[in-house]
Amino acid sequence: MALDFTDDRRMSRQAMKAELLDAETELQLTRAWRDHRDEAALHRLITAYMRLAISMAGKFRRYGAPMNDLIQEAGLGLMKAADKFDPERGVRFSTYAVWWIRASIQDYVMRNWSMVRTGSTSSQKSLFFNLRRVQAKFEREAMARGEELDRHQLREKISREVGVPLHDVEMMEGRLSGSDFSLNALQSQEDDGREWIDALEDESTQADAEVEQAHDMAQLRNWLIESMKNLSPRERFIVRERKLREDPRTLESLGEELGLSKERIRQVEAAAFQKMRRSLESQSREVMHFLL
């Protein structure tokens, strides 16, 4: 069943005219939908409780979302509630639906508050919708006692009250302090005003650094090649298989191939490394800078 709420005022007027369901009628409708997927029963149930959904949607207007969108989300939450409701539990549908309606609206508000993800856990969601209220409560209590709380003390109290880490409170304060800001906005209204994105530091590798890194890697590669020339064919093979492959081989697999024990492979490897180290040290002291 589609929800098409093109005019929130018209929708509100229609909802207020809808029938009020008694407990027995509500039970029959919820059973008809659960057991037979009776769409007529679902439509009657949703229509009757849209006044509840619209009332709850109105409580979230202060977050800046269009009322029409809030009503649509509330309606979706109402339909989810109808789909998951168990009429045999002895609970009125309206009591059960409140949670789903609120959750649907809150998810919508948080998704559309900022391009940056505002929060994902239940505690962060609670912080988002209760931060200002809890903050105001502590400020009123402090004022009544003739005290003055600094920002850190206030954040600590909010953290304990809501049950979230202190850094979450600091993060959420920043998110709620203003809306998103475009990096393409001009820093000033002058003709030659730069965009804010032009002031961001370029964190990519600079050309001179890339050239220097390429030179260093080439030099190191040459040193390693020279040092391996002093190794025996078996030692070179073991070093190559153990250290120069993307998927290094184990001592056991090399031992099986060469007919040696794991311990012997380890000894040959250690001796090869010692030879390479002496060779590298004899070539240049700069090598030690790379090896340390």
Helix ranges (H only) for the chain are 8-16, 23-36, 39-58, 67-84, 93-113, 122-144, 151-162, 166-176, 207-228, 233-243, 251-258, 262-283, 286-291
Give residue 106's pLDDT band: very low, low, confident or very high (50, 70, 90). confident
CA quadruple 74, 75, 78, 83: dihedral sign:
negative
User: Is the domain of 228 the same as that of 136?
Assistant: no
User: Is the domain of 101 the same as that of 156?
Assistant: no
User: Is the domain of 232 the same as that of 274?
Assistant: yes
DSSP secondary structure code for residue 186 in this structure: B
Is 183 a domain residue? no
pLDDT digits (tens, 9 = 90+) for 112-151: 765 445 555 666 677 777 777 788 888 888 888 888 888 8
User: Is the domain of 108 the same as that of 161?
Assistant: no
Judge whether residue 100 has pLDDT over 90. Answer: yes
Is 247 a domain residue? yes
Span 196-201, mean pLDDT?
Answer: 56
8 Å CB contact between 46 and 72:
no
User: Is the domain of 105 the same as that of 127?
Assistant: no
User: Is the domain of 13 the same as that of 73?
Assistant: yes
Span 264-276, mean pLDDT?
Answer: 90
pLDDT given for residue 78 in this prediction: 95
pLDDT given for residue 282 in this prediction: 74
Q: Which of 70, 93, 113 represents a domain boundary (last residue)?
A: 113
User: Is the domain of 15 the same as that of 109?
Assistant: yes
Q: Which of 113, 130, 162 represents a domain boundary (last residue)?
A: 113
Is 70 a domain residue? yes
User: Is the domain of 108 the same as that of 27?
Assistant: yes
Span 155-178, mean pLDDT?
Answer: 77
Is 185 a domain residue? no
CATH (domain of 20)? 1.20.120.1810
Is 255 a domain residue? yes
Q: Which of 55-64, 220-229, 251-260 has the lowest mean pLDDT?
A: 220-229
User: Is the domain of 13 the same as that of 101?
Assistant: yes
pLDDT digits (tens, 9 = 90+) for 22-49: 999 999 999 999 999 999 999 999 999 9
> Who has greater pLDDT, 249 or 178?
249
End-to-end alpha-carbon separation of the chain, Å?
69
Is 191 a domain residue? no
pLDDT given for residue 116 in this prediction: 46
CATH (domain of 277)? 1.10.10.10
Provide the domain count of the chain: 3
What the block records as the tokens of 32 is 């008809």
> Who has greater pLDDT, 243 or 177?
243
User: Is the domain of 70 the same as that of 148?
Assistant: no
User: Is the domain of 53 the same as that of 86?
Assistant: yes
- Give the structural domain span for 241: 208-291
Q: Which of 113, 132, 149 represents a domain boundary (last residue)?
A: 113
pLDDT digits (tens, 9 = 90+) for 57-94: 998 887 778 888 999 999 999 999 999 999 999 899 99
pLDDT digits (tens, 9 = 90+) for 112-121: 765 445 555 6
Q: What pTM was computed for the model?
A: 0.48
Is 3 a domain residue? no
Q: What is the average pLDDT value for the chain, to the nearest integer? A: 79
The DSSP secondary structure of 219-269, one letter per residue, reads HHHHHHHHHHTTS-HHHHHHHHHHHSSSSPPPHHHHHHHHT--HHHHHHHH
User: Is the domain of 17 the same as that of 82?
Assistant: yes
Is 237 a domain residue? yes
